[in-house]
Amino acid sequence: MIYNCHNLMSEQSAYQPKPIIQPQRTQFLTNFKLPDVSFWQDDPTTPQPINFQQMSSLTRGVIIRAGQGTYEDRVFKTSWKNAKQAGLIRGAYWFYDSRVNPKRQAEKYVEILKDDPGEMEMWCDYEDRYGGPYGGWRNWFDFMERIKALMPEKKLGVYTGYYYWLEFAAGVSYFAQYPLWIAWYNPTPPLVPPIWQDWDYWQFTDNGDGTLYGVESLNIDLNYFNGSEAEFLARYPAPPSQATLIAKFGDTLVEYRRVS
């Protein structure tokens, strides 16, 4: 589908929606939960990276910051590789920076992920308040369309906050085609911008137990998936698993690896 930005702008100015407030629900204690991480979870003064093997004992997925603007997160490659080896289903996110041309940001995002795009969506993080010349939904449109042109088979998603979205993109229906990852640090269910029917992921805290999840920061972001663990696993392809066998022939040890 081709979207006309002029029509979207007219729709935005004419449409004054009421928020969809999800009814109080009690299933969040059983919803599948997973963290998101970035370089903030890795202490640069220590040699060890994030312990994704420990993380995999608590969850089956993780979302990892790929970068911002035109630079790659300094620990992304290591985290991406190690999360895969731990058998975690991986998603990446890109912090959109209004000071940088959206198409150049999209190209950098794709450059980083093109050889191993992960199993989950490529998330586009809209929360920037730098006040640069490339802010606002028209530039977000360009950002996402450029990613789609370069990686047409890869699914994308939107990360944002409810009030932020109403301030910068209320009523712009183009974005409703993407799953929603909503930031809402509140014990009650999140408010959902009206173009979406519901959320797919809810970032409910930035104060999770970092040590428990194998990171070096004391705190960690935690998210609910809007469904059970079985539903989460059914949504995404399983990451390749690797089995290692070490055999001894005389005084020589030989390592065999099988990827399935």
- DSSP for 108-138, written as a single string: HHHHHHTT---SS-EEEE----S--TT-SHH
Q: Is 214 left (phi over 0), alpha (psi -120 to 50) or beta?
A: left
Alpha helices in the chain (DSSP H): 5-14, 52-55, 76-85, 102-113, 137-150, 162-169, 229-235
| pLDDT at residue 8, rounded to an integer | 46
Higher pLDDT, 240 or 36: 36
3-class state of residue 39 by DSSP:
helix
Q: What is the mean pLDDT of residues 213-225?
A: 95
Give the confidence band of 156 by pLDDT, cuts at 50, 70, 90: very high
Contact between 136 and 175 (Cβ < 8 Å):
no
Q: Is the pLDDT of residue 24 over 50?
A: no
Rounded Cα gap, residues 81 and 243, in angstroms: 15
**Among 81, 86, 171, 169, CA closest to 124:** 169
**DSSP class of residue 98?**
T
Q: State the pairing for strand pair 219-225/201-209.
A: antiparallel
3-class state of residue 44 by DSSP:
coil
- For the stretch 134-153, pLDDT in tens is 999 999 999 999 999 999 99
Tokens of 187: 């014990």
3-class state of residue 189 by DSSP:
coil
Please report, in angstroms and rounded to a whole number, the separation of the first and last CA atoms in the chain.
Answer: 37
Q: How confident is the prediction for the chain on average, in pLDDT?
A: 88
Distances (CA, A) of 78 to 62, 72, 197: 14, 12, 36
Q: What is the mean pLDDT of residues 247-258?
A: 54
Tokens of 197: 């029917």
Structural domain harbouring 226 = 5-259
The tally of domains found in the chain comes to: 1
**Among 243, 242, 228, 220, CA closest to 62:** 220
Tokens of 228: 């059970």
Q: Is the pLDDT of residue 7 over 50?
A: no
| pLDDT at residue 20, rounded to an integer | 56
Q: State the pairing for strand pair 33-37/122-125.
A: unpaired
Q: What is the mean pLDDT of residues 83-110?
A: 98
Proportion of the chain above pLDDT 90, given as a percent? 77
Contact between 128 and 165 (Cβ < 8 Å):
no
What CATH number corresponds to the domain at position 52? 3.20.20.80
